[in-house]
């Protein structure tokens, strides 16, 4: 799977979970029929939001994005559907082209983030496990910390 394909799939998934969460919020706050959608889709969106952040960081390192582009990729997860807009703009600007730079036979990593990415791209099965564990761990931290305090 190329960086572009991975990034696109997670960016689209993040936008879809945003739509589902917004639907849940509509049912809870507008129709006042159920809060089940917020509870279920909120959790799903949270997990995919974290996955998107990790994939954006990985893509940032692989594609050698500038600080501004990398930060924009991360921040695009906050407004609904902005990840898809970022993905389309990044593709049209050529910012998602190419393969994994540090895959077997690829470039030699220099920095610590590049060395981590090299290990992940050279061990895709373990990378999937690491990704799932990272998303689960960060989700656990988020659940422990709880939602932001709302002002009264």
Categorize the per-residue pLDDT at 150 as very low, low, confident or very high, splitting at 50, 70 and 90.
low
CA neighbor of 24 nearest in space, from 11, 39, 9: 39
Categorize the per-residue pLDDT at 148 as very low, low, confident or very high, splitting at 50, 70 and 90.
low
Nearest-angstrom CA–CA distance, 21 and 24: 5
Nearest-angstrom CA–CA distance, 104 and 121: 8
pLDDT of residue 152: 46
pLDDT of residue 147: 76
Nearest-angstrom CA–CA distance, 89 and 13: 17
Place of tokens 């190419």: 98
Q: Is 146 exposed, middle or buried (0-12, 13-18, 19+ CB in 10 A)?
A: exposed
Report yes or no: 76 and 59 within 8 Å, Cβ to Cβ.
no
pLDDT of residue 146: 86
Which tokens is 65 given? 């994005």
The yes-or-no verdict on residue 149 having pLDDT over 90 is no
The yes-or-no verdict on residue 17 having pLDDT over 70 is yes
Which tokens is 17 given? 């979970």
The per-residue pLDDT of the chain, averaged, comes to 95
pLDDT digits (tens, 9 = 90+) for 18-71: 999 999 999 999 999 999 999 999 999 999 999 999 999 999 999 999 999 999
pLDDT digits (tens, 9 = 90+) for 78-125: 999 999 999 999 999 999 999 999 999 999 999 999 999 999 999 999
CA neighbor of 56 nearest in space, from 43, 46, 65, 47: 65
Report yes or no: 135 and 47 within 8 Å, Cβ to Cβ.
yes
């Amino acid at each position: 799977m190329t960086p572009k394909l991975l990034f696109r799939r997670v960016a689209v998934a993040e936008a879809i979970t945003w739509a589902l969460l917004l639907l849940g919020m509509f049912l809870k706050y507008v129709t006042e029929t159920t809060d089940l959608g917020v509870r279920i889709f909120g959790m799903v969106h949270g997990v995919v939001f974290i996955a998107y952040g990790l994939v954006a960081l990985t893509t940032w390192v692989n594609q050698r994005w500038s600080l501004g582009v990398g930060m924009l990729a991360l921040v695009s997860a906050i407004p609904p559907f902005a990840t898809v807009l970022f993905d389309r703009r990044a593709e049209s600007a050529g910012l998602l082209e190419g393969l994994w730079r540090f895959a077997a036979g690829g470039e030699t990593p220099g920095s610590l983030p590049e060395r981590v990415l090299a290990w992940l791209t050279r061990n895709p099965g373990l990378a999937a496990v690491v990704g799932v564990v990272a998303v689960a761990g960060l989700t656990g931290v988020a659940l422990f910390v709880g939602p932001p305090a709302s002002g009264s």
